Amino acid sequence: MTNEHPRTALVTGSSGGIGRGIALRLAGDGYRVLVNYFRDRAGAMETVDMIRQAGGQAICLEADVGDVEQVDRMFDRSAAEYGPMGVLVNNAGVQTWKALLELEVEEWDRTIRTNLRGTFLCTRKAARQMQSAGAGRIVNLGSGSNRIAFPRLVDYTASKGGIEMFTKVAAVELGPLGITVNCVAPGATEIERTRRESPDYAATWSAVTPLGRVAQVEDIAAAVAFLAGPEASFITGQTLFVDGGLFCRPVWPYES
């Protein structure tokens, strides 16, 4: 049985998309939310304003999650503003849409640095704060590429596979400190970016998803909120796929 963790939550990369949805949900659940961004300050401030207008508490924190010094400053400021961290959501992520043989080393490094190194740096810093409280929740964002290969997304797929294994070893090491570590792996999710990249995104992916629709940010946020809440106090080291059955669907040549 774990102690109650502090009601402060940091969501990295929450200036829009899934990160914003998670931040809004946690704020609605009564958390003081730290909205992290790297470049999109306007989007982050919009997230903060939405939380405050709904009666919640939130502040903006700028940091490149792949940079040690910036991560340290972000956590130091969060502790000064709101006290020890109770929940960390490692959501910040980037990707490169290129085939393996065309991918540049710099592109690979950028994705691994943000997605995997960033998850490591933020987890390490948060866990040190959570240790003092004797409790905490860490939720990492994975992907369908935790389960299957995504062609033309080799850097992203490698980073998300790494995040899943990082989740497991972190859960084993941090469990004795009262800290749970889990992974939420979204399927096809309709956000601003996916709508912009493919106008028929929802229709395309709904057609191959067993539940017949794509995910909305609220679906992902609900899973994160569950893992951050008291009902999940004995769940750790797990990956929860929120994909409508999409990535448990095999290639099946006999289907008409």
Number of Cβ atoms within 10 Å of the Cβ of 120: 17
Q: Are 30 and 82 in contact (CB under 8 A)?
A: no
Quote the tokens at residue 16. 């829009």
Q: Quick one: which of 178, 225, 209 has its CA closest to 29?
A: 225
Q: Which of 37, 156, 201, 254 is catalytic?
A: 156
Nearest to 217 by CA among 191, 239, 242: 191
Phi-psi region for residue 65, left (φ > 0), alpha (ψ -120 to 50) or beta? alpha
For the question of residue 37 being annotated catalytic, the response is: no
27-61-196-139 Cα dihedral, nearest 10 degrees: -60
Q: Which residues are catalytic?
A: 156
